[in-house]
Amino acid sequence: MTAANPNPYAAKPGDYLSNVSNFQLIDSTLREGEQFANSFFDTEKKIEIARALDDFGVDYIELTSPVASEQSKKDCEAICKLGLKAKILTHIRCHMDDARVAVETGVDGVDVVIGTSKFLRQYSHGKDMNYIAKSAVEVIEFVKSKGIEIRFSSEDSFRSDLVDLLNIYKTVDKIGVNRVGIADTVGCANPRQVYELVRTLKSVVSCDIECHFHNDTGCAIANAYTALEGGARLIDVSVLGIGERNGITPLGGLMARMIVAAPEYVKSKYKLHKIRDIENLVADAVEVNIPFNNPITGFCAFTHKAGIHAKAILANPSTYEILDPHDFGMKRYIHFANRLTGWNAIKARVDQLNLNLTDPQIKEVTAKIKKLGDVRALNIDDVDSIIKNFHTEVTTPQLQSARKNKQEDNDNDNDKDVPSLASVPAAKRAKPTV
């Protein structure tokens, strides 16, 4: 925020634990995403999605447990054989029955999870913390003995007892897990709470910290970002955030967040211009539309409408954009066909139409457009027709002399702000032609 710090969104020197410029992605579209209401991925679709994620550059791909169903196991084995750059993980309950099947699938790592909140201990598996610790140690040592990565995660971490949590994490860290996981399974966590828990955990374990955030209360992206600030290293994402209920941290949304903080890291590591294709692939597969307000790929993510915004964007896009659409293979759009438009936006359109109008003329035609925009929704054809008619009027010799006085009046108008009908005295207003 000061001149001494050229990028105010970068980690501050004080944030010495921050991994904002050194994070990894675990994509769980093929695990958490399978738990999305509409999901049914056949083998071919799973492979297509896995290849697309690998090409994008995710660090890990997490797959549904091989004990979930026969086909889940076969698909897991098939994806392990693809030879992707991304490491392949599968996600299992903290149970030897599951672990024995998982290690035979060919995965690079196993993600183990067990519920630690009083809710899950009472109503789900019914085990106490001693039992959980005992199972965890057995499963972890078994998986490690096979020479593959192991992550131990609590479930519903933010409603678990802090001392219980730290005890179990400390225990598994000593055995030598690759990662411990914090999971906001119900989507209740808020950013400062996340920061505190991650910082505290960071002081207890030496392994990496992975975080998994559900989006029930709309904080999944912010929580992921704040977890990285606190020292977490890995974030679970899925394409469009699909998962149980309304899902988890979305891959695209997190990229929007991270590129602001660590542009070089993000741009060099991930193929950002592939986000749109991957989102379309998954959206088609699960039969949903891309949300209208999706970060980056929502239809209006780079659309500027109010006259004052359009004016500044035309002068310098950074005025009203923190994301550069070109980084994502997208384009910005100046919405000029509406009553909030301004003469700078209309001037840009006049240029696109390759017409020649003076600034006062453009202000005059802008007033006409705003007048019609007050009556009904406009489309581009409406505006183009008004501009073209106006252009014909001012360039046809027999109509020119009648207009001359008006133009001279307009030239004296020294209002440098975006004009609006109300700020132009009534006498100067063009009569609407429609």
Distance CA 335, CA 377 (A): 12
| Amino acid residing at 335 | H
Sites for a second copy among residues 99-128 (CB under 8 A): 101, 115, 117, 119-120, 122-126
Segment lying near a second copy (by CB under 8 A), choices 79-87, 318-326, 345-353, 397-405: 318-326
Map residues 190-209 to x or -, x wherever contact with a second copy holds by CB under 8 A. Answer: xxxx-x--------------
Burial of 210 (0-12, 13-18, 19+ CB in 10 A): buried
Applying CB under 8 A, among 53, 301, 350, 355 the residue interacting with a second copy is 301
Q: Which is nearer to a second copy, 84 or 235 (CB)?
A: 235
For residue 306, state whether it binds a second copy (rule: CB under 8 A).
yes
Contact assessment for residue 325 and residue 359, using Cβ atoms and an 8 Å cutoff: no
CA angle 297, 300, 305 (to 5 degrees): 155
CB of 339 to a second copy, least distance (A): 4
Tokens 């519920």, located at residue: 115
Residues forming a β-bridge with 155: 115
Residues forming a β-bridge with 154: 114
Applying CB under 8 A, among 52, 61, 107, 187 the residue interacting with a second copy is 187
For residue 34, state whether it binds a second copy (rule: CB under 8 A).
yes
CA angle 120, 121, 127 (to 5 degrees): 140
For residue 36, state whether it binds a second copy (rule: CB under 8 A).
yes
Q: Which is nearer to a second copy, 178 or 226 (CB)?
A: 226
For residue 373, state whether it binds a second copy (rule: CB under 8 A).
yes
The gap from C-alpha 407 to its chain's centroid, in whole angstroms, comes to 49
How many residues bind a second copy (CB under 8 A)? The answer is: 123
Sites for a second copy among residues 211-230 (CB under 8 A): 215-219, 221-223, 225-226, 229
Task: Count how many Cα atoms sit within 13 Å of the Cα of residue 84 in the half-sphere of its side chain.
Answer: 29
Map residues 381-400 to x or -, x wherever contact with a second copy holds by CB under 8 A. Answer: --------------------
For residue 302, state whether it binds a second copy (rule: CB under 8 A).
yes
Report DSSP state, residue 57.
T
CA angle 179, 184, 186 (to 5 degrees): 145
CB of 401 to a second copy, least distance (A): 29
Active site residue 309: yes
Q: Which three-class secondary structure state does DSSP give residue 243?
A: coil
3-state helix, strand, coil in the chain (%, to 5): 50, 10, 40
Q: Which is nearer to a second copy, 204 or 315 (CB)?
A: 315
Segment lying near a second copy (by CB under 8 A), choices 51-59, 104-112, 290-298, 385-393: 290-298
For residue 97, state whether it binds a second copy (rule: CB under 8 A).
yes
The encoded tokens of residue 277 equal: 């294709």
Q: Which residues are catalytic?
A: 309
